[in-house]
Amino acid sequence: MQQSSLVVVANHLPIGGNLAPDGTSRWRRSPGGLSSALHPLLWHTPATWIGWAGRPGAAPALADVGEVRLCPVPMTDEEMHDHYEGFANSTLWPLYHDAVEQPVHHRRWWDAYLRVNRRFAEAAAEVAEADATVWVQDYHLQLVPRLLRELRPDVRIGFFLHVPFPPPELFTQLPRRAELLRGMLGADLVGFQLAQAAHNFAQLATTLLGLEATDRQVRVDDRIVRIGAFPISIDVAEMSGLAERPDVLARAAQLRADLGNPRQVIVAVDRMDYTKGIEQRLKAYRELLEDGELRVGETVLVQVAVPGREGILRYRRLRERVEREVARINGEFGRVGDMAVHYLTQPFDRPELAALYRVADVLAVTPLRDGMNLVAKEFVAARGDRAGALLLSEFAGAAAELPQAYLVNPHDLDGLKRTLLQALRAEPADAAARMAAMRERLHHHDIRAWARAYLSALDSRHGPELLARVTEE
């Protein structure tokens, strides 16, 4: 197998669900998400991406996507259930998101998690050339850094956690807590979205493993593992340019007309997940209609909620609850030709998403907990007109970088209602000033700035050369 100097290891390959008979596919770019974040960095960069192709069984033969060589890792139906739906998304995901839902523990899930992580590590060891840089992504693969180091001590290993990392009192509930920490500490650099997460990690390294640690590094035997915050961003220029295209602006005008040309449009774009605060947002909107603060025909809510993880029962039940609430709101407040909520579950392509951002008078991003939330940043990048207001949860990582947004505690229903009204009724000059400040921040902290900070910290030997390749226009 041909080897690479840059290897990305992630749970999923960045490809669409439908593969052609010859193995060709296209890069999958959903709102936010890992593949969207890394797309501008890797599209023109020779690299290998290791991941699952999205269907059980033997690994298919896949053609390259751009300059990225795809290396699929096989997974059985049972492993998909126990590793992905089980340990990753029913044990780790809820606990890492402040236990919004109760984490579930099954010993067989851990066995599958370990087995799959070892398979990914072995694949990386095979395709990485001597002294390569291997960049491991996210909570599905926390054991890979240590397993890979045992196989290939010559490579430089980075690990980046895209989701929140919990405080010690939550993390210590995990039955396999020490193994997970040791797995991450196999890396040379462990990156988080926020400084608080790095602090939590350092505390655990000290209290659980007895290691010498600060918020910047951990000593592991004769190695120094660096840790730190590297808040991820987006390709600001790409989204800004897309949102100014004449066809996108025309589509935005058409979308607004299709909505009945209301005075104000609230937009929310989420993956269907209990961490996203969709139910709380819908309840706040319903109560504002009940209170007479908002009126159907003048204001409309567009809720995009793309289903995911449908194999997990709590996600199916969440979707049922959301759809019942949407039906209730439309049944009680809608009129013929005037819906209170437009509910969409299909994924949007990039131009359609940019048009939707341009329609929004308020973009509501109100997760109960979120590592970053790139939808909020995409919205700001799309608003070159400096119009529109961002309603943003205090518990999204993006809130630390976008303090000019209308910040809200989504657990406080009355506060959510008040702040939504504040955003809807903002003076244009105030909204424009807020948007200008957020756009200035994003232009200085785009996806390339994120890569520059992370890769330079990861590899002082090859960092500049690698950085030049992955950030070239």
Catalytic residues: 162, 370
CB contact at 8 A, 119 and 80: no
At residue 459, the 3 state secondary structure works out as: coil
Enter the DSSP assignment of 80.
I
What's the maximum distance between 2 C-alpha atoms anywhere in the chain?
A: 71
Count of beta carbons in the 10 Å neighbourhood of residue 212:
12
Count Cα atoms within 13 angstroms, Cβ side, for 142: 26
The Cα–Cα gap between 83 and 91 comes to 10
The Cα–Cα gap between 124 and 135 comes to 10
CB contact at 8 A, 199 and 216: no
The amino acid occupying position 355 is: A
CB contact at 8 A, 299 and 262: yes
The Cα–Cα gap between 225 and 145 comes to 11
Query: Residue 70 forms beta bridges with which residues?
Result: 49
156-160/189-192 β-pairing: parallel
CB contact at 8 A, 389 and 406: yes
Count Cα atoms within 13 angstroms, Cβ side, for 103: 22
Residue whose structure tokens are 């039940």:
317
Query: Residue 191 forms beta bridges with which residues?
Result: 160, 228
What's the distance, Cα to Cα, between the start and end of the chain in Å?
Answer: 29
- The region that residue 292 occupies, defined by phi over 0 for left and psi between -120 and 50 for alpha, beta otherwise, is left
In degrees, to the nearest 5, what angle opens at C-alpha 10 toward C-alphas 9 and 12? 135
406-408/389-393 β-pairing: parallel
Residue whose structure tokens are 């019942």:
324
